[in-house]
Amino acid sequence: MQRLIKGQPDGNSPKTWDVVPAGVLRFLEFTLLNLQEGDTQCGSTGDRECVLDTFSGLASVVVNGPGFKQAFPRVGGRSDVFSGAPCVLYMPPKSGFHIQATSQNFRAGLFCAPATQALEPALVEGRSVLSKQVGCGSFERTVYTAVGDNSAAERLLAGETLNAPGCWSSFPPHKHDRSNPPHESRLEEIYFFQIRPPTGFGLI
């Protein structure tokens, strides 16, 4: 089952919109952040682990929790999601975070899921991000895995998929609504789509 949620920007808030557990979505959460230089966003992961995926711009982030405080002065750097591999920051449960944009037009997605493990914050960028070409012909695409087998996380898998113009994604057809290893894994998924040029369109 799929649900399409269209953003309703709020000019008075750096949080454009949220996706929270409801209906068939039981665990995953997503928040889209839009910050200008000097703007800040603070919060707590609570009983969740979170991944901050930077879509454009730069930010300085401080993550603190039981027994640690880590500063990440340079998170991000791309001009847009079409300009190379992602840079993501993993934040464990029971952590506070302070995000401050250090460039204009800092845009990021904050993905969260329930978790209990006391892992360390981690910045995943550059060669730490796995990149591979999958599919062929009209469904060939580049898949970037930022949080998965290559990095520590209890539940979250996070990455980006880059499709050439006119190409399909997630083909051949498949689903994740039941556990039947190795053929199928039960997973929740949230997709945030971006299109270039803005006047373009996609079919889902």
pLDDT 10s digits, 103-160: 999 999 999 999 999 899 999 999 999 999 998 898 999 999 999 988 889 999 999 9
pLDDT of residue 160: 96
The least confident of 95-104, 167-176, 187-196 is 167-176
pLDDT of residue 1: 45
In the DSSP assignment, the letter for residue 25 is B
Confidence of residue 6 (pLDDT cuts 50, 70, 90): low
User: Is 101 in contact with 38 (CB distance < 8 Å)?
Assistant: yes
Structural domains in the chain plus CATH codes: 15-163 (2.60.120.10)
User: Is 109 in contact with 33 (CB distance < 8 Å)?
Assistant: yes
Residue 199, class by beta-carbon neighbours within 10 Å (0-12 exposed, 13-18 middle, 19+ buried)? exposed
CA distances from 103 to 41, 61, 77 (A): 14, 13, 9
Nearest to 103 by CA among 35, 33, 37, 40: 37
Confidence of residue 179 (pLDDT cuts 50, 70, 90): confident
Spell out the residues 6+ positions from residue 79 whose beta carbon is closer than 8 angstroms to its own.
56
Phi and psi based region of residue 23 (left: phi greater than 0; alpha: psi -120 to 50; beta: remaining): left
Q: How far apart are CA 58 and CA 60, in angstroms?
A: 7
The average pLDDT across 93-97 equals: 97
pLDDT of residue 11: 47
106-114 and 48-56 strand pairing: antiparallel
Q: 7 pLDDT exceeds 70? A: no
- Supply the mean pLDDT for the chain: 88
pLDDT of residue 5: 54
The average pLDDT across 192-202 equals: 87
Nearest to 5 by CA among 24, 13, 87: 24
User: What is the identity of the amino acid at 134?
Assistant: V
CB atoms within 10 A of CB 178: 9
Exposure class string for 53-86: b at 16+ Cβ within 10 A, else e: bbbbbbbbbbbbbeeeebebeebbebeebeebbb
Q: Which residues, listed in sequence order, are joined to residue 180 by a DSSP beta bridge?
A: 184
Tokens found for residue 38: 């000097």
